[in-house]
């Protein structure tokens, strides 16, 4: 075995042993939080449940602007008029998305004729019918989509987000 490959082998061995040691330490860390009500395994804060609109307020193809999960995060609720990916409501056609482009946070505009979002900064396009799928542009992520629920009274609530909001390390800030 050459000198270089022996060094590489020893380094790899140290990593494996180190990893095993770290894994051994995990149960004791979890143990330390027992009884404190704190989960050491949770990495995100819970999403709030916020009413965005009533179904009766929504008109096909028109944007209903709001914010979620806090005032600093603009979102848009839309009734598309046909069943779509993750759509809710009797026609499975109501969806909501962040209005901040996933590339560099440009404010998106919605075009009802193609059901797409367009960014004015570098021209990314996202598909509102396909869960915010990136169609074209410099963004590398799809558009974050809100998880929606509708109650018996026809009120539409945001209860979570699929994907990470632009500029954040976590969608819900402490
Ligand atoms: S900020 Fe939207 S494409 Fe760059």
Query: How many residues are there in the chain?
Result: 174
Q: Are residues 67 and 35 in the same domain?
A: no
pLDDT, residue 99, reads 98
d(CA 44, CA 33): 17
pLDDT, residue 44, reads 73
Q: Are residues 61 and 30 in the same domain?
A: no
Q: Pick from 126, 138, 165 the residue to mutate for probing ligand 1's pocket: most ligand atoms within 8 Å of its CB.
A: 138
pLDDT, residue 174, reads 84
Structural domain span for residue 4: 1-42
Per-block mean pLDDT, blocks of 10 residues, the chain (174 long): 50 46 42 55 83 97 97 98 97 98 98 97 98 96 98 97 96 92
Q: Which residues line ligand 1 (CB under 6 A)?
A: 101, 103-106, 119, 121-122, 124, 137-139
Q: Are residues 66 and 144 in the same domain?
A: yes
Q: Are residues 99 and 141 in the same domain?
A: yes
Number of separate domains in the chain:
2
The model's pTM: 0.77
Q: Pick from 107, 119, 142 the residue to mutate for probing ligand 1's pocket: most ligand atoms within 8 Å of its CB.
A: 119
């Amino acid at each position: 075995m050459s000198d270089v490959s022996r060094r590489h082998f020893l380094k790899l061995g140290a990593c494996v042993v180190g990893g095993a040691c770290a894994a051994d330490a995990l149960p004791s860390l979890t143990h330390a939080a027992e009884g404190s009500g704190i989960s050491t395994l949770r990495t995100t804060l819970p999403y709030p449940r916020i009413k965005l609109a009533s179904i009766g307020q929504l008109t096909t193809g028109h944007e209903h602007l709001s914010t979620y999960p806090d005032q600093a995060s603009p979102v848009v609720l839309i009734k598309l008029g046909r069943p779509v990916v993750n759509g809710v409501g009797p026609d499975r056609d109501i969806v909501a998305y962040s209005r901040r482009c996933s590339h560099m946070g440009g404010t998106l505009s919605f075009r009802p004729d193609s059901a797409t979002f367009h960014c004015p900064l570098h021209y990314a396009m996202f598909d509102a019918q396909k869960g915010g799928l990136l169609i074209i542009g410099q963004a590398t992520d799809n558009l974050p989509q809100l998880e929606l629920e509708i109650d018996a009274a026809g009120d539409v609530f945001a209860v979570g987000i699929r994907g990470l909001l632009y500029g954040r390390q976590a969608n819900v800030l402490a």
